[in-house]
Amino acid sequence: MIRLRAVAVIIFFAISMPYGSSAQEQLPVFDEMVILAPLPLTHDVYSIKKNSSVHEALIEAGVDSRIIYQIVKTARPKFDLRHIQPGTRFVIAKEHDGSLRRISFDISPLTRLEVNYSHKEWTSEIVEIETTKQLVHYSGTITDSLWNSAIVQKLSPEVITDFAEVFGWQLDFNREVRKGDTWKFTVEKLFAEGRSVGWGNIVYAQYQNGPEFYKAYFYKNKATGTQGYFDETGASLRKVFLKSPIKFGRITSRFSRRRFHPIHRRFKAHNGVDYGAPRGTPIRAVGDGRIIKIGRYGGSGKMIVLDHVAGYRTKYLHMSRFKKGMRRGSKVLQGEIIGYVGATGYATGPHLHFEMSKHRRLMDPLKVNLPASSPVPETALAHFKSHVASINRNIASIDRPARSKKICCESVRSKSIHSTGQ
C-alpha cells in the first residue's frame, strides 16, 4: 500500500511591471493557482475475535496502548467498548504517515460507532448506517398451518410472526386456520451497504379464511399521530383484546360448563381455554392492564391476573416462570410478554389455562365480541385513501407467478449524535 504526503502546491507566475511604472504599481498578478487536494485515508478492516477484548484486538491491529485508552474513554458516553461482541467488524483509517485518524465499530446492523482524531482532540459519534428499503411480495397456501406454509416460502420466523400479529385481533391462528386458506403480504426488506440487515414494516397484508377475506394496510400520519393497521375504509384492525395469548399453539380444551377433569377424575366446569405449547413458549397479555395477582396459587400453579378496562379481567395459569420485572401493580401493554408456558399446579403437561371475565362473570374467550380502536381521523381520510390506492396499484403490478418481487426502493439518510472527549 503506497502512502504519500498530501501536499498543497501553489503555482503562480508574476508578470513584471512595465518600464517606467511607478513603485506604487509594482503589484504581482497571479495568472493561475492550482491546489491539489489531500489524498484519501487508507482503511484497514478487522474484527473482534472470539474470547478477545477490544484492547487485544486493537493491539493486534497495531494501535498504541495510550491511543486505545483515549479511544475507549471518548467512546464511553455513547457506547462502552468493554461490552463489544465477538465478530464485530471495525475499520481503522490512517493518514499517509501511519497516524490514526478514525476508527469505526459496527455495533449493530444499522448503527456504527465512530471515534475521530482531529485538531489534537478525540470525538465520538453514533452514526445510523444508510439503509435502503425494498418492498418484497410473498404469498402462500395453507396445507396444515400458517407457520409451515411460510417456511415453505423460506420466510424468516421474524416475518412470519409479524404477519400473524397484523391479524392478531381478527384471527386466532391456533384454531381458525383452514386447509386451503391463502395469504399474501408486502414487506420492507432492509439493506445497509449492500448487506441484508432485517425487515421493516409489513405495508400490506391479505388473508382469506374460508369465505372470510381480510385486508390490512399499514398507515402512519405524523400530523394526526395515527399509526397502525387499517382496512380499506380506514377502520382500525386493533381491538381491545388479542384473539389469543399465545402466537402459535393449539387448543387442547375449550370453555365448558361440564368437562371430565383428567386429574380429579370427575366432571366439573372448565372456565377457560387451554392452549398446548412447548414449555417456555412466551405468553402475552391480551390487552392493556394492571397486575392484581401474581404468584403460586395451589392447583393453578404460577398465575397472573390482569385487571383491564370496563370491568374485564384475564387469568393466566400453570406458568413455568414470570417475565423478569413482573410484580403486583405493574402495568402491562397489549401483546407484552408476561410469562412462559409451564406445567405448575394441577397439570398433566405444559400448557396455558386462560380465563376471561367481566364484572366477575366468566366468559368464553373464544366467543367474546369486542369493539375496535379508533379509525383513521376524518381529517386524514383523504390522505389515507390515496395511500391505499397507491399500495393497490403496486400490488396489481406484481407478477403473480413469482414468489417475490422488488417493487421499489427508498434510501434513508444517516443521522449522528456527537460526543467529545479529551
Q: What is the pLDDT of residues 222-232, one digit of tens each?
A: 888 889 999 99
Cα 52 from Cα 60, distance rounded (Å): 11
User: Taking 80 as the threshold, does the pLDDT of residue 1 lie above it?
Assistant: no
273 has pLDDT over 50: yes
The candidate with the shortest Cα–Cα distance to 274, out of 234, 237, 301, 294, is 301
CATH architecture of 250-367: Distorted Sandwich (2.70)
Condensed to tens digits (0 to 9), the pLDDT of residues 288-305 reads 999 999 999 999 999 999
Per-residue cell: 175: 384454531
Domain extent listing, the chain: 23-128, 132-241+403-412, 250-367
Q: Over range 309-330, report the average pLDDT.
A: 94
Burial of 131 (0-12, 13-18, 19+ CB in 10 A): buried
Residue 398 has pLDDT above 90, yes or no: no
Distance from C-alpha of 110 to C-alpha of 192, rounded to nearest angstrom: 7
Average pLDDT over residues 175-199: 89
pLDDT (0 to 100) of residue 23: 46
Structure-block grid coordinates of residue 411: 434510501
Determine the Cα–Cα distance for residues 247 and 332; give it in Å rounded to an integer.
Answer: 17
What percentage of the chain exceeds 70 in pLDDT?
82
Residue 329 has pLDDT above 60, yes or no: yes
- With a cut of 50, say whether residue 186 has pLDDT above it: yes
Same fold, 23-128 and 250-367: no
CATH 3.30.70.1560 at 23-128, yes or no: no
**Average pLDDT for 63-83:** 92
Q: Is the pLDDT of residue 395 over 80?
A: yes
> Would the pLDDT of 8 be above 80?
no
In the predicted structure, residue 14 carries a pLDDT above the cut 70: no
pLDDT at 258: 58
Q: Which fold has domain 132-241+403-412?
A: Nuclear Transport Factor 2; Chain: A, (3.10.450)
Those residues whose C-beta lies under 8 Å from the C-beta of residue 12, and which sit 6 or more positions away, are 28, 30, 31, 32, 33
Task: Please count the CA atoms within 13 angstroms of the CA of 19 that sit on its side-chain side.
Answer: 0
Residue 360 pLDDT level (bands cut at 50, 70, 90): confident
What is the C-alpha to C-alpha distance for residues 327 and 314, in angstroms, rounded to an integer?
Answer: 16
Question: Please, what is the average pLDDT of the chain?
Answer: 83
Please tell me the predicted confidence (pLDDT) of residue 422: 42
Half-sphere exposure of 326 (CA within 13 A, CB side): 27
Distances 381 to 230, 384, 389 between C-alpha atoms, Å: 11, 5, 12
pLDDT digits (tens, 9 = 90+) for 97-151: 888 999 999 998 889 999 999 888 999 999 988 889 999 999 999 988 888 888 8
Which has more pLDDT, 57 or 17? Answer: 57
Question: pLDDT by residue (tens digit) across 31-47?
Answer: 566 666 666 788 899 99
CB distance 274 to 252 below 8 Å = yes
Query: For residue 203, how many other CB atoms are within 10 A of its CB?
Result: 21
